[in-house]
Structure 1
Amino acid sequence: MQKRLACLVLALVLIVGGIAGAERAAEQIIRFNIGAEPETLDPAKSTGVPEARIELNVFEGLTRLDENDMPQPAIAESWEISEDGLRYVFHLRKSQWSNGDPVTAHDFEYAWKRALAPETASQYAYQLFYIKNGEAYNAGEITDPSLVGVRALDDYTLEVELEAPTAYFLSLAAFPTLMPVNRKVVEADPEGWFLKPETYVGNGPFKVTKWVHNSYLELEKNPLYWDADSVILDKLVATTIESEDTELVMFETGQLDITNTVSRPEIPRLEREGLLKVIPNLGTYYYIFNCEVEPLNDPRVRKALSMAIDREAITEYVTRAGEIPAFAFVPPGIPDAEPGKDFREVGGDLIEENVEKAKALLAEAGYPDGKGFPTLNILYNTMDMHKAIAEVIQEFWKKNLNIDVRLMNQEWGVYLNSRDEGDFEIARAGWIGDYVDPMTFMDMHVKDGGNNDSNWSDPEHDRLIQLAKSSNDPAVRMQAMHEAEAILMDQLPVMPIYYYVEAFLEKDYVKDVIYSSLGFIDFKYAWVAKH
């Protein structure tokens, strides 16, 4: 009851407070850029931020994250948790799909089991491994879906059984992979239902009404949304522009109200003009080494490459928005077991930069002064900043190790597929946390993990991750993850470069958009002031 009340109060503060401070514009439309054409808008299969920024406004899960990334009641208006933390019972409010069908507990059961089904091939299926028998079902060890620990007790009651207590499960319940889908709609066109506005049926505050592929999507207010009275905007226009320069021109000429990022050379000017917005982001920018490709299968080579770059130079002269050089994988901003302590602060730096050690390691691996080292490719998705970072790293490796690399860019969807198929040698990557716990950065590296694109594995690392997942003791959990991260950073299948901040531009007449440190953008309470 308290959580439900807090959600209602938040809505009133945002709406009434906003109205009191400024007059609404006649046209309630916000134009924002998501930075790429979505690879897929099927919540069971999507993995990227561009996709999530659409899905989180078209769908709604059992919970919804507030401005502090705390879960609040959404489709579930209340719930009970057993004393041992293993059983959740969610009580759903009466709500509708955008086509008028009722949203029921059966929709959640279907969606979660569909994401877990091996034939769905969801890279994010592991987000549901917390559910009893979820991992076994995904692995094909059991084939009876009724054994998976999620079941509709009736139309508006959902029971969930977990493998182990999971402190962040209510936050996970707000994540796209756990969104409900309309079974009738999905089964009518399993491979295409999410591509056409007329069949892209959601249950959130907005609905997709137009999709001009490789250009933009239009979302309109969903009048059948259970809390439609709180939604002020009439329309959202989401562009899929990858060029930072084009994006900036569109912002400055009034064609965009919110950008996806900022052209880095323009940051000093935009900061002087008061247009730049920078907010914390729980994420890490890094490079992936394909550990099945020679010579990257040798940890000495991976360490040498990591030691031979200057992260501070990258953040100061290339990214330029206040990013923090990364010397471990898990970013700052996640609480540790001891109250008031940060996981990164406790864990400290786990890698170093040292050109002389890098040269020695490369020589030890059989490549003295870079001799005989093959020319490798750095793969990145098309964006000016990714190119600039790759060029600087290319220079560092040439200057410090006397090795050559080629740069190769691909469009977002092609790039994601190349990574997923292992068709790369070194690839740019970024990971934004799915919830506020180190596990969101750690379990992606387990053997055969859906997002483990490095093809690296270590049995002790995986044992520690399993220990952290199965324990309800915060001290045991955090210590296990610190030890697992130390193994990860000793083997270096991934090379951390910097910790993200979210740098973007927003018109001053755009009000009450919620920007999450997890990379999500929530327009439910947003509105446009008269200007």
Structure 2
Amino acid sequence: MLIGGCSRGESNVSQGNREQVFHKSNNAEPQGLDPHVVTGVAEHHIVQALFEGLVSKNPHTLEIEPAVAESWALSEDGKVYTFKLRQNANWSNGDPVTAHDFAWSWWRALQPALGSQYVFMYFPIKNAERYFNQEVIDFDEVGIKALDDYTLRVELANPTPYFMQLLDHYSTFPVHRATIEKWGKPDESYTPWTRPENIVTNGPFVLDEWRLNKHLMVRKNDAYWGADQVRLQKIVFYPYESGPIVERMFRAGQLHYTYETFIDRLPWYRANKPDYVQVAPYAGTYLYRVNTTKPHLADKRVRKALAMTIDRQKMISTILNDLFTPAYAITPPGLLGYQPPKLFDYDPDAARALLAEAGYPNGEGFPETELQYNSSEQHRKIAIAVQQMWNKELNINIRLQNKDWKVYLDDEQTGNYDISRGGWIADYVDPNSFLDMWVSGSGLNRTRWANPRYDELVLQRAPEAKSREDRYAAFYAAETMIMQDMPFIPIYTYSSHHFKHPAVRGMPPNIMSYYNWRYVWLDPDWSDAKPQQQTALSGGI
């Protein structure tokens, strides 16, 4: 698990602090590195190191700030953005990054054959959804225009308050056209263009090495426009999913930062090494997706019965160290002042009555049902607890299935599952980030549930609303509708929780657990052997 080059007796962390080499656990082997194709958090953090969009966010404030675009203007009607790109933004091979790169990349992302699951991110743009659905054939009718090499004009269908936040999401990042066309067709996914020897990127780092199931390493991109702002020389991402293994690596000085903590060890760290733990509120929801095409799960009474027999508070208290908050809707409460509906609670008696109404009195005749989860000690413990609750309260047989990340994602996307562990973290700070993924045809709506009225509320009424009150009313009506049908089972609202070495700077806690690699660096003067220094620096971020 160690990266070669460390002096005998010197840890990754100690040497990394001196040489600005950041060691991070990433929780899974990346599914890929194509910004328009990947979907997971494990891929997100790597892609954000390799690519960059028009804008980025300040990790301290989450405010939008310039990236490839050095400035922009918005029309008085709130529908037309004009971006001026910086002329010193380059691809890693030296080519300039131009407005044409963005226009072509966004055209590519809107190709149905590519299968981008985040294509809905583009739908606020005029005619983007219609083009994707092949109702508009000519891309010139879509509101994306490169006016010259360094001016990009984007016209929206309606004013969209969160549009600038979308432009920091990796699905809107540009890709290098010549490289993609050299190794395949633009609308082909997982072609060889992302291999280390082929890939061309525009972010603060370039891909240096990818050893499957060992590590992925990126190094500083000297061609990056802001290279003088980037202090890290390398980042090493480790794909290990086992909480105990990752915690031992962290304890042994092999990691600066972990994807999440190993919850069983969290009380010890809080008591003995509180400066090595970072816990913060997090705009995300842990849930179970339900495949609504399965005959016995197609009945919403069954899905409601399952939701009502999970004792969320007991689970959080007994196996999750009180880190999280019970969830009864998809949107976390209080997100930008929005409050979601609460239509159910823990109620085994009512759940048994619903199951009986659906034709399964006391669980009789209910088919054995598989609950799948991706490899993680925490996911396993939650699945076991839910399995026991459903067996005890509903007398049904649940079979647990642990799958590695790629198989788990493939099975969700192809519908090869009954119930599947899931989670959703806000891509931007707005209730829409939790609600538009469930519209008909969304690549992220792997439940196969669909409701035209829901689509209308989220895709038409909310965007066309003239006030926040009216917009939130549309969201509330939509969320009420989906929670009445229950195609997924919300379990808890996340808190972010990481093991973080005190030498790490530029990674403050925030509700999106967001970090910008341009800000991250390592304090070379930090030493675990100097407790007085630890006290002095423990508050630094």
TM-score above 0.5: yes
**Superposition TM-score, scaled by structure 1 size:** 0.92
Matched position secondary structure for 1:60: coil
Number of the residue aligned with 2:202: 203
2:50 maps to 1:58: yes
Correspondence list, 1:418-437, <5 A: 418-437=411-430
Matched position secondary structure for 1:102: coil
Equivalent in 74, 85, 89 of residue 82 of structure 2: 89
2:218 maps to 1:219: yes
With over 3 angstroms needed to count, the CA separation of the structure-2 counterparts of 1:267 and 1:495, relative to structure 1, is same
1:65 partner amino acid = K
Separation in 2, partners of 1:184, 1:242: 35
**Superposition TM-score, scaled by structure 2 size:** 0.90
2:390 maps to 1:397: yes
Separation in 2, partners of 1:479, 1:127: 22
Number of the residue aligned with 1:496: 490
Residue deviations 1:357-406 (CA, integer Å, cap 9, x gap)? 00100111111111111110001111111111000000000111111100
Equivalent in 360, 370, 376 of residue 377 of structure 1: 370
Separation in 1, partners of 2:297, 2:175: 41
Number of the residue aligned with 1:176: 170
Number of the residue aligned with 2:522: 528
Separation in 2, partners of 1:38, 1:147: 35
Where has structure 1 moved over 4 Å in runs of 4 or more?
A: none
Separation in 2, partners of 1:96, 1:528: 26
Correspondence list, 1:106-185, <5 A: 106-185=100-179
Separation in 1, partners of 2:224, 2:446: 38
Matched position secondary structure for 1:508: coil
1:390 partner amino acid = A
Separation in 2, partners of 1:199, 1:332: 44
| Corresponding residue pairs, total | 500
With over 3 angstroms needed to count, the CA separation of the structure-2 counterparts of 1:141 and 1:348, relative to structure 1, is closer
Per the TM alignment, residue 333 of structure 1 is displaced from its structure 2 partner at its CA by 4.6
Separation in 2, partners of 1:63, 1:78: 9
Matched position secondary structure for 1:26: helix
Note if contact 2:231-2:520 (Cα within 8 Å) is conserved in structure 1: yes
Matched position secondary structure for 1:96: coil
Separation in 2, partners of 1:432, 1:194: 28
Number of the residue aligned with 1:43: 35
2:201 partner amino acid = G
Number of the residue aligned with 2:481: 487
Per the TM alignment, residue 470 of structure 1 is displaced from its structure 2 partner at its CA by 2.7
Matched position secondary structure for 1:431: strand
Residue deviations 1:218-251 (CA, integer Å, cap 9, x gap)? 1111111111111111111111111111101111
Number of the residue aligned with 2:67: 74
Per the TM alignment, residue 181 of structure 1 is displaced from its structure 2 partner at its CA by 0.8
Separation in 1, partners of 2:346, 2:394: 13
Separation in 2, partners of 1:285, 1:58: 28
1:309 partner amino acid = I
Number of the residue aligned with 1:478: 472
Note if contact 1:164-1:471 (Cα within 8 Å) is conserved in structure 2: no
Residue deviations 1:331-368 (CA, integer Å, cap 9, x gap)? 13511xxxxxx212xx3523211010001001111111
Matched position secondary structure for 1:521: coil
With over 3 angstroms needed to count, the CA separation of the structure-2 counterparts of 1:426 and 1:42, relative to structure 1, is same
Segments of 5+ residues of structure 1 without an aligned counterpart are 1-23, 336-341
Separation in 2, partners of 1:489, 1:194: 41
Per the TM alignment, residue 159 of structure 1 is displaced from its structure 2 partner at its CA by 0.5
Correspondence list, 1:242-261, <5 A: 242-261=241-260
Separation in 1, partners of 2:334, 2:271: 28
Per the TM alignment, residue 77 of structure 1 is displaced from its structure 2 partner at its CA by 0.9
Separation in 2, partners of 1:25, 1:125: 39
2:307 partner amino acid = S
Note if contact 2:505-2:522 (Cα within 8 Å) is conserved in structure 1: yes
Separation in 2, partners of 1:143, 1:196: 33
Note if contact 1:278-1:503 (Cα within 8 Å) is conserved in structure 2: yes
C-alpha RMSD of the superposition: 1.4
Q: What's the % identity of the aligned pairs?
A: 40
With over 3 angstroms needed to count, the CA separation of the structure-2 counterparts of 1:25 and 1:242, relative to structure 1, is closer
Number of the residue aligned with 1:354: 347
Equivalent in 452, 456, 463 of residue 463 of structure 1: 456
Separation in 1, partners of 2:242, 2:322: 18
Equivalent in 376, 379, 386 of residue 386 of structure 1: 379
**Greater Cα shift, 411-420 or 457-466:** 457-466
Separation in 1, partners of 2:514, 2:208: 21
2:278 maps to 1:277: yes
Separation in 1, partners of 2:429, 2:507: 20
Number of the residue aligned with 1:416: 409
Per the TM alignment, residue 314 of structure 1 is displaced from its structure 2 partner at its CA by 1.7
Separation in 1, partners of 2:404, 2:137: 37
Per the TM alignment, residue 26 of structure 1 is displaced from its structure 2 partner at its CA by 2.8
Separation in 2, partners of 1:83, 1:434: 26
1:343 partner amino acid = Y
Matched position secondary structure for 2:319: helix
